[in-house]
């Protein structure tokens, strides 16, 4: 990889993704941001306009191959290269299995697993060309199973399996990092339609890590280039306060 690095990140309109985009842009990286809500991406671009890096975006859906292919091509024409991929877009619905809806299960798999694979597929040739870096956003749910989130946990176990297979198949061409956060204070919990569980879990997320803490870990993993690879990073809230 040659500086300035170009980063392609999905789920950049808010939460962890927006924070990573800002942190990387303020550290001089070129950022290509992808998510569905165009107005939010516009605001992100404005907030990054005085930073040392550059940010551009494409409004699209990770359930669409076409959107991701278009965005990957646009990123290339805008910045000339694509070195780092962060397929961060993800969604979770809390519910016990016996109350879960097929629609929610399909969406979690489509965004969190197939969406990650589609994003990798659309960008892989460019990443390999630049001997780049893929930073997958897993979760503590990638290694542990929690109640009321069996399908979400399954999708994050799958993300870890994708990271591991990339690590094996591209050992001499790509750096692979998986970041596994515990609860982070974002809007993530708002997707849950089970009002009882939403109310129960809200305080856990509200007292979770600031998204900037995750963004700093991403920056550290990128800056390690040439020294070694942060293969897996687990980040947990500091509950001592
Ligand atoms: N918050 C936590 O406690 C936590 C902990 C561990 C791991 N994670 C993981 O971290 C990642 C980010 O979560 P977050 O907490 O930042 O959640 P968030 O605040 O809800 O943000 C989710 C992001 O994903 C995007 N997104 C959702 N569906 C999409 C789709 N179909 N196509 C394109 N973009 C889509 C959303 O943008 P649009 O709506 O504009 O498309 C948004 O930018 C996820 O993979 C999540 O599983 C979160």
pLDDT-derived band at 62, boundaries 50, 70, 90: very high
Whether 16 has a pLDDT exceeding 90, the answer reads: yes
Is the shortest distance between the CB of 10 and ligand 1 below 6 Å?
A: yes
45 in a structural domain: yes
Q: What is the pLDDT of residue 148?
A: 97
CA distances from 163 to 9, 14, 80, 117, 136 (A): 16, 24, 26, 10, 7
Active site residue 230: no
Domain count, the chain: 1
Q: What is the pLDDT of residue 9?
A: 99
135: CATH: 3.40.50.720
Calculate how far, in angstroms, residue 224's C-alpha sits from the geometric centre of ligand 1: 25
Calculate how far, in angstroms, residue 160's C-alpha sits from the geometric centre of ligand 1: 17
81 in a structural domain: yes
Question: Which structural domain, as residue segments, surrounds residue 190?
Answer: 6-235
Q: pLDDT tens, 82-96?
A: 999 999 999 999 999
1 in a structural domain: no
Q: What is the pLDDT of residue 189?
A: 98
Mean pLDDT of 39-43: 98
Q: Prior bond to 4 cis, omega within 30?
A: yes
Q: What is the pLDDT of residue 149?
A: 97
Whole-prediction pTM value? 0.98
Average pLDDT over the chain reads 97
Whether 177 has a pLDDT exceeding 80, the answer reads: yes
17 in a structural domain: yes
Q: What is the pLDDT of residue 196?
A: 98
Helix (H), strand (E) at residue 30: strand 30-35
CA distances from 73 to 25, 38, 44, 120, 238 (A): 20, 18, 21, 13, 41
């Amino acid at each position: 990889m040659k500086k300035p690095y170009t980063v392609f990140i999905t789920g950049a309109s808010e939460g962890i993704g927006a924070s990573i985009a800002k942190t990387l842009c303020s550290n001089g990286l070129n950022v290509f941001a992808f998510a569905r809500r165009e107005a939010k991406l516009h605001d992100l671009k404005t907030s990054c306009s005085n930073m040392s890096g550059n940010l551009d975006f494409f409004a699209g859906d990770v359930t669409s191959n076409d959107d991701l292919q278009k965005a990957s091509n646009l990123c290339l024409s805008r910045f000339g290269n694509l070195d780092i991929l962060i397929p961060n877009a993800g969604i979770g619905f809390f519910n016990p299995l016996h109350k879960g809806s097929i629609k929610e299960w399909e969406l979690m798999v489509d965004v969190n697993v197939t969406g990650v694979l589609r994003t990798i597929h659309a960008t892989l040739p460019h990443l390999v060309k630049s001997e780049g870096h893929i930073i997958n956003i897993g979760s503590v749910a990638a290694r542990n199973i929690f109640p009321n989130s069996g399908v979400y946990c399954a999708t994050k176990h799958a993300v870890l399996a994708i990271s591991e297979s990339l690590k094996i198949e591209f050992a001499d061409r790509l750096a692979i990092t998986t970041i596994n956060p515990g609860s982070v204070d974002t809007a993530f919990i708002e997707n849950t339609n089970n009002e009882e569980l939403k109310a129960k879990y809200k305080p856990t997320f509200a007292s979770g890590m600031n998204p900037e803490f995750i963004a700093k870990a991403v920056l550290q993993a990128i800056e390690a280039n040439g020294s070694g690879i942060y293969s897996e990073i687990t980040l947990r809230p500091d509950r001592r306060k």
